[in-house]
Chains A and B, each alone.
Chain A
Amino acid sequence: MRKQHHSKALGIASGIVCAVLATTAVMSKPVLASDYSEGPDGERTSRISDESVSVVDTSNFPKRPRRLELGPPFIGSGPLPEGWEIPGGFVVNPAFLVYGVYRTALQTYKNPATLGNDSFSEWANSLSVFGNLQLSYVNRILIGMQPLQDRRGGVGQGPPVFSSYNFEPESSPTGDEGWQNEFNSKITTLFFEGDLGELIPKADFNDFESLDLGIAVGRQPLFIQEGLLIFDTIDSVGIIRNNILPPGGSNLQMTFLYGWNEINRADNRDPGNLDMYALLLAADYPNQTLALNLVYVDASQGPDIPNPAAADDPTAPAMTEAPTSDGFHWGANTTQRIGHYNTAFHVLGSHALDDTPPPLPGRPVPAVSDGYLLFSEISTELPWTEDNVWLNLYWGIDEYSPAARGPTVGGPLGRAGLLYASQGLGRYLLALNNQGQDVVGFSLGYQHFLRHSHRQQIVYEVGGRQSTLSGGPAAGAGMIRYQRGIGQHTVWEVSGFGLLVDEGSDTADARAAAGMEALDGTGYGARTEIRYNF
């Protein structure tokens, strides 16, 4: 009981902070945008300023941050080394830079849709560290680690667990109490990217051959079609041809991608033995950018799961191969401005080329299934400000499944709104379910920049989703988030949400039949986070 109070108190406190900040923001003037000047009487005017502003005092000008680096400074002034030429003519000019981000958050969370009637409060931490070895300006090797988070049960076997301190409940889902130390030294990112023509310049000294190909190979994060199609870190190789000059258009880029390992499917799980082939096309035309993405996932065998027959038959093997299916996934989108409105329209489809496999134990969705997703983004800036107002709508027809989703990113609808986005830190997940099966939904948001700077901003958002199946669940939520920059490296964030959930008659009946208590109809979340870039 005491713990419940603890959690609620934390939530209420954060809510109050958010409310105060929101009030402050509402009462403040908008940012002094680039879209107007102030006249002699202090009134805003669209007329460009007659005032001669002295060049900013260079002693107050932000200095290039200190970084851990070897070799010539990362975009820093000073003489540059000549480098050494290797056979083929490639001039190696190495520079090594260490950078990354540390995140630490105090957060409390209760969401019937994801945790049932449980709640928790925790202090969670993550650290992403990257080493960037620049071989020349366009050729580099990147290595990355996340030493404060790990995945239990081996690669692909479970959601990540973060180094954290659990206030409530004392026992985390992984069975650890109090402080959890997930320190590790596993490499999570390691890839090379560059330009083929630049690697062997003597093969094309005058640049009259067709070696202008980009290449990237290794374990690399992929983010295709705003993450609606692929959002995962995959062992893969990609070859890109850019600046194909199409008649009537300005640019066409074409990428072929092959992935062979670490491919997490729509259920955020890597079953192993997958191959991925993708063709990604994007073209700029005068009034819009068009993209078409085609992905084929070849699943030679399903993952091993506990064998249900083993319970009744001691001679049966303990594990069995789950059914699976090849998948064909595609997406197209168009991005443009219509009048004063920024718009993007996406249509995506997925097809299980064999029978749709059932969801694996503990997974809410199958690895691949048949369905379509319609997704639109509409936003505009308010006059005299750079404030951003958006309305995002989506409609999941049947059971759309993305080609690949990493273990921390949930479903494909994270771009639908902040309410739908996983925080990627600790166990604090989303407010509204971001899976896209048989559902319609929206988010309506407003991002407000506070006076004189982009360094303070506040976001208000409401959203909702409704199953298109009769007896399906529905939910609605609202949130506030305040962010401000502190110094050169740091962002401080406070946010909170409130949630109303109708679990739907089907779920309610199923829970009742299983003898489980009914889900609460409300949820909440509150958190404060500090991010330090280095």
Chain B
Amino acid sequence: MTRISLLDAMRVKPKDRSQMARSIGGNTGERSSRGYILQDQYGLNGRRFSLQHVLGANNSISLAVAVFACLTMPASLRATDAADPHAPFNLGDRFPSATECAECHPLHYKQWSISQHAYSQMSPVFNAMQGTVGVLSNGTLGDFCIRCHTPVGMNLKEAEFGSNIDRHPTSREGVTCVVCHRLTKPYGKITGRLPLAQGPITDPIYGPVGDSTELNKVIEKRGLITEADSTKVGRKVHREIAPLKFLHASGMCGQCHDVTESNGFRLEEAFSEWKNSPANKKGISCQDCHMGKEPGRVLAERSDPDFDKKNYAYGPAAIVGNIETAPRKLTNHKFVGPDYSVLPPALFPIHTSTKEESQKDDPTIPGWTIRQWLEFDWNAGWGTDEFEDKVTDDYKFPDIWASVDDRYDAREVVEGNIALLKEIEADRLKLLQNGYKLEDIVVDRADDRGIKFRVKVASGTDGHNVPTGFDGERVVWLYVRVLDAKGEVVHVSGDLDPNGDVRDLHSAYVHNREMPLDKELLSLQSKFLTFATRGAEREQVIAVPYSLTPTPFLQPETRSAVIVGRHFGARKHRRGISPGSHRWGTYYVKKGELTGHGPYKAVVQLKAAMVPVNLLNAIKGVGFDYGLSARDVAEALVAGHQVIWEKDVTFDVHDGKKMASERAGIDNPSDAVRR
């Protein structure tokens, strides 16, 4: 029986890498030998088509077009094609996998593996959304959305929609190491259209300092290999750390976290909000809050000369064998945010015990394919003593999981992943607690005519609105229950419908008039509005204005969208709380709802969800990846709801006078940790 620990699982053996490289090879421009969904490896088909249509017989135009095409062709392609247009182009050598980086940067890898960056492409919710908008826009969505979610996949010219199981493993890594560390210059607000430098792990890597001193030391001491085509056996490393100071600037994040569609629709504006925020005026960058020790908060004033030491961890950037490089400022690569995984823990966080479909019958390669992992019933307890000691002989296991040793091995991977998920869940709660404050509960009336009270929710950050980013689908809301003396709920707002949605206009039950609209609901979710053929703008879960035309066709706006700050077919009604601001929720328990003199208690929870269930309803038509049903995903989604803060207040209406006492906020709500 072979058992591997989680740490072992995260380390990639050289043998695995070479195996991976062999199986990745091929440059047919169609399906590779492994069946990845490549369209055109060199990305030239579209350009050839364009040239044929434009050139015609006019030589001067031809020359101009040719010059233009040359100037706009990726530099790496120009060089490669000029040297040998038929040269094999190993995909692994173009975009090194995070698993290669993990060898020398285990801490960074571990942090990244549980991050939203690692989850970005793995997410079945994102995948279905990409597919749905692609269908609704008649294919004109192109690689918008997914260009950010898997920059490597799009550089490889993979299909814009399909199962992740069939993607290249580095493509599945989403925002992987090379996405930031293989940029050569600052590009500004480009909505994730990142021109990545291509090359093997031995090519220069880009860092904020660009000092190769420590690297050179370990190269000398360990005899590391810095040539891509070396026949030497040993560990390959980058031969140089090139400077990209921009990595420390907020604009680095703004390259993806300010999302504008080509037609002018402003989908996400986190970076723009920050540019106009008090934090900006104080000189605090995105990285200071989101890559420091504490998620969502700086631990010192920016003017403090020891700011870096107080705000950031320190340690070796790399560990090569048993050699650690000199301690330096370490940025946190968890990039903690409000998203969470809805996948089985066998699939995420990313780990190295997953092999590719083409390797499934090769016993020399450890691990299991995604499809095999999906058959592993971790919920039933497979691989635990509790289960295995009691399991009967007639229990039917899939063939791949027939071996008890394999089940124990797999269980170890799953348990390691569950531990990591708990870790990131606690970080996420901290982030949310730093972003939102549940403040005063003000009682306006508490007598035999009813109870009126207000609840104040304030922004906890001065860096941007809360929620920010994909705020059109971020649900942060107040769940308020008023209980009578017997503990019975007499009044409620912020409760969920049977699907798990708050009762707003997007709830299917409310839309279909099966449940009443929650008129007191305080939700900070922004809403997508689309122009309708006539009538007022209407809320839509997916902001494709199909009321205006039966064939929405995404193309550059023919008017200036800059002038009005919006697209003409759709926009976002932003409802987040701006820095330093607050919002009041108002609640009224009517006389008829009172059951006696009380006392009554209002329990107030500020809660957060990654996305609403109604989004799943809107995108379910194309199916969810990994064979999940909409309800599977919905249940995982609702299970991930977190209580950010909780307070309660007691009302006594005995003598008809207003009386109330407020209890302090509970810092560690009971249901904050779900697993």
For chain A residues 234-291, which have a beta carbon within 8 Å of chain B? Answer: 238, 240, 242-251, 253, 255, 257, 280, 282, 284, 286, 289
Are B251 and A201 interface neighbours, CB within 8 A? yes
Report whether B574 and A255 are in contact in the complex, using a CB–CB cutoff of 8 Å. no
Contact (Cβ within 8 A) B160 A48: no
Scoring A residues 76 to 117 as 1 if CB is less than 8 Å from chain B, else 0, what string do you get?
111111111100011101111101000000000000000000
Main secondary structure, interface of B, reads loop
Q: How far is B134's CA from A488's CA once the two chains are assembled, in angstroms? A: 12
Which one of B201-209, B429-437, B626-634 is at the interface?
Answer: B626-634
Q: Is the CB of B623 within 8 A of A82?
A: no
Assembly CA distance A115 to B560 (angstroms): 35
For residue A321, CB closer than 8 A to chain B, the reply is no
Chain B residues with Cβ under 8 A from A332's Cβ? Answer: none
Cβ distance B438 to chain A, nearest Cβ, rounded Å: 17
Complex CA–CA separation, A134 to B624 (angstroms): 35
Q: Determine if B539 and A79 form an interchain contact, defined as CB atoms under 8 angstroms apart.
A: no
State A41–B465 Cα separation when bound (angstroms). 46
Question: Chain A residues with Cβ under 8 A from B450's Cβ?
Answer: none
Most buried by A among B54, B275, B561: B275
The answer on a CB contact under 8 Å between A82 and B185 is yes
Chain A residues with CB under 8 A of B197: 82
> Per a CB cutoff under 8 Å, which of A207, A215, A389 touches B249?
A207
The residues of A that contact B622 with a CB separation of less than 8 Å are: 53, 55-56
Contact of B537 with A344 in the complex, beta carbons under 8 Å: yes
A250 and B536 contact, CB distance less than 8 A = no
Binds B, one of A30-38, A154-162, A499-507, A516-524: A30-38
CB neighbours (8 Å) of B189 from chain A are 137-138, 195, 198
Chain B contributes a number of interface residues (CB within 8 A of A) equal to 150
Decide yes or no: A55 and B517 within 8 Å by CB, A144-B558, A418-B533 being known contacts: no
Bound CA–CA A99/B623 (angstroms): 32
State in angstroms the CA–CA spacing of A484 and B550 once bound together: 6
A250 touches B623 (CB 8 A): no
CA of A80 to CA of B42 in the docked complex: distance in angstroms? Answer: 11
Q: How far is the CA of A132 from the CA of B533 in the complex (A)?
A: 27
Stretch from B142-150, B486-494, B656-664 at the A interface: B142-150
Q: Is the CB of A65 within 8 A of B139?
A: yes
Question: Is B213 positioned at the interface, with any CB of A under 8 Å from its CB?
Answer: no
Question: Which A residues lie within 8 Å of B627 (CB)?
Answer: 52, 54
Taken together as a complex, chains A and B put the C-alpha atoms of A36 and B276 apart, in Å, by 41
Given A77-B154, A246-B578, also A282-B275 (CB < 8 A): no
Beta-carbon contact of B54 and A75 below 8 Å: no
Q: Number of A residues contacting the other chain (C-beta, 8 Å)?
A: 143
Q: Tell me, in angstroms, the Cα distance from A488 to B552 when the chains sit together.
A: 9
A-B contact count (CB 8 A): 446
One digit per residue, 1 when the CB lies within 8 angstroms of any chain B CB and 0 when it does not, for chain A 124-138 equals: 000010101010111
Task: Let me know if B250 and A207 touch, CB within 8 A.
Answer: yes
B555-611 residues at the A interface, CB under 8 angstroms: 555-556, 558-565, 568, 573-581, 583
Stretch at the interface among B72-80, B420-428, B441-449, B667-675: B72-80
Q: Which of A81, A138, A378 contacts B536 (CB 8 A)?
A: A378
B574 touching A65, Cβ below 8 Å = no
Provide the residues of chain B in CB contact with A392, threshold 8 Å: 534-535
Given the interface pairs A77-B143, A137-B193, the reply to whether A390 lies near B534 with Cβ below 8 Å is yes
- Chain A residue numbers with a CB within 8 Å of B51 are 70
A384 interface hit (Cβ, 8 Å)? yes
A36 to B617, CA, bound (A): 7
Expressed in whole angstroms, the minimum distance between the Cβ of A94 and any Cβ of chain B is 6
**Closest A residue to B615 using CB positions:** A34
- Which of A366-374, A432-440, A449-457 lies at the interface with chain B? A449-457
Query: Which of A55, A243, A445 lies in contact with B272, CB distance below 8 A?
Result: A243
A216 at the interface (CB under 8 A from B): yes
Contacts of A58 on B, CB cut-off 8 Å? 37, 159, 161-162
Per the bound structure, the CA–CA distance linking A304 and B188 in Å amounts to 50
Which stretch in B219-227, B229-237, B348-356, B506-514 binds the other chain? B506-514
Tell me whether A250 and B568 are in contact (CB under 8 A).
no
Nearest first, the 3 closest Cβ-Cβ pairs linking A and B are: A78-B43, A379-B535, A390-B535
A selection of 14 A-B contacts at a CB cut-off of 8 Å is A51-B629, A58-B162, A83-B185, A201-B186, A205-B186, A212-B276, A243-B273, A246-B578, A248-B581, A255-B563, A378-B535, A388-B532, A388-B533, A461-B534
New A-B pairs, 15, CB < 8 Å, besides A50-B631, A55-B162, A486-B551: A48-B613, A51-B630, A56-B131, A56-B623, A62-B138, A68-B50, A68-B53, A75-B140, A93-B72, A193-B562, A238-B562, A238-B563, A461-B534, A489-B551, A533-B553
